[in-house]
Structure 1
C-alpha cells in the first residue's frame, strides 16, 4: 500500500515540475502565487513528501490549473480499487479524496469525510462541482446557503464558490465528486 503512495507522490512531483517549467515559473514565483513555501514545493517536486489535498489545491490555484492536471492517467482501461491508498488527505486527516479519472472537461473523485468533521475548499473560476452522497447524511454549505443531503442526494454548484462539506454524524460519509472546468 505504501508503494502506491510513493508512486503517486513521485508522479505528482514530476507533473508539477513539468507544468511549472512549461509555464516558465520559478519555485520562488510559484511559492508566492500559491502561498506554499519554496521548501515544500521542492520536496513535492522531488517526491519526498505526500502533500495534503489543501496544499495541492493551493498549488493548482496558483498555477491556474485543475487538480487532476498533476496526475497522469494514460491507460485505456483503468480500475481504481476502493480499498487502495491512492488518496490525498486533508490537513486534519478528516477528509480523503481519491483522484479517479479525467474525462473530457471533467475530473472524477471518490471522497470521504470523517464523523463530526468538516472540510472547506473552492476551485478555479468557471468550475462546476457535483457531489453525490453515497451513505448517511451530509450538510453542504455553498456560499452562505446550507443544504441538508441524504443518501443518494446530489448537489450541483459553482465550484469557485467557497463550499464546506460538514459531517455531523457518527459515521464516515462517502461521496462521488465530479468537477468540470470551462477552460482546460
Structure 2
C-alpha cells in the first residue's frame, strides 16, 4: 500500500503527536530524549517536514517503540494475516530507502518482519539504542550487496547471507553496489 508523500507525512504527524501525548511528553521533553530539535519535532507534527530514517529512529527510541510499531496504525485490524497490498510502505526522503512493514499489525508477536530496498550507494545510520537492551535483529540479504557496520566491525553481505545484531549497538546499512540491495529485517523485541 504505497502511500503518497503528503498522506504519509500526515500519518507520521498524527502518529508522532499521538504517541507523544500518550506518554505525556512535551516537545521539549521529547527533544531532550531523542536529540532531535524541538523545532524539527514541531514541523514533523504539523506535517511540514518528512523525517529521515535516522531521525525517525531516534524519535521512536525516545518514545520506546519500534519503527514497525510506529507505522502500525491503531485503526489497523488485529489479525493473523497481512496482505501484501495492505502492507504500509515508507520511503526515506533523504536516501530513498524503502521500508515495507510485512508483519500483521497489532498482534502479540514479539517478532516484526520488514522488507527493505536500499538504493545503490545509500547509507542509513542508526545510533545505539541503549534503552532497547534485549532487542535484536537479523538482516537477511536477498539481492545486491550490503556493508553492515555493527559496533565498529564491518561485515560485507552477499545474497543469502544473514547477520545477527543487538539493537542496543549502533549500526550502519551501506549499499556499496551499483544496484539496489533487497533484504529482510527480522526484529525480535525481546520479552513482551
TM score, norm. by length of structure 2: 0.80
Say if 1:4 and 1:85, in contact at 8 Å, map to a contact too.
no
Partner of 2:55 in structure 1? 55
Q: How does 1:133-172 map to 2 (within 5 A)?
A: 133-172=141-180
Q: Deviation digits for residues 63-110 of structure 1, max 9, x if unmatched? A: 2222223222513443335xx99213163x253323333551122222
Say if 1:142 and 1:162, in contact at 8 Å, map to a contact too.
yes
Separation in 1 of the partners of 2:66 and 2:3?
A: 25
How many correspondences in the alignment?
182
Confirm whether residue 108 of structure 1 aligns to residue 116 of structure 2. no
Moved more, 157-166 or 109-118: 109-118
Structure 2 gap ranges (5+): none
Separation in 1 of the partners of 2:146 and 2:4?
A: 29
Moved more, 170-179 or 122-131: 122-131
Separation in 1 of the partners of 2:153 and 2:93?
A: 23
Deviation at 1:3, TM superposition (A): 5.1
More strand by percentage: 1
Say if 1:113 and 1:167, in contact at 8 Å, map to a contact too.
yes
TM score, norm. by length of structure 1: 0.82
Confirm whether residue 182 of structure 1 aligns to residue 190 of structure 2. yes
Q: Deviation digits for residues 110-152 of structure 1, max 9, x if unmatched? A: 2122223432214432210111101122222221323232112
Separation in 2 of the partners of 1:66 and 1:47?
A: 21
Separation in 2 of the partners of 1:99 and 1:52?
A: 17
Say if 2:137 and 2:165, in contact at 8 Å, map to a contact too.
yes
- Partner-residue secondary structure (3-state), 2:44: helix
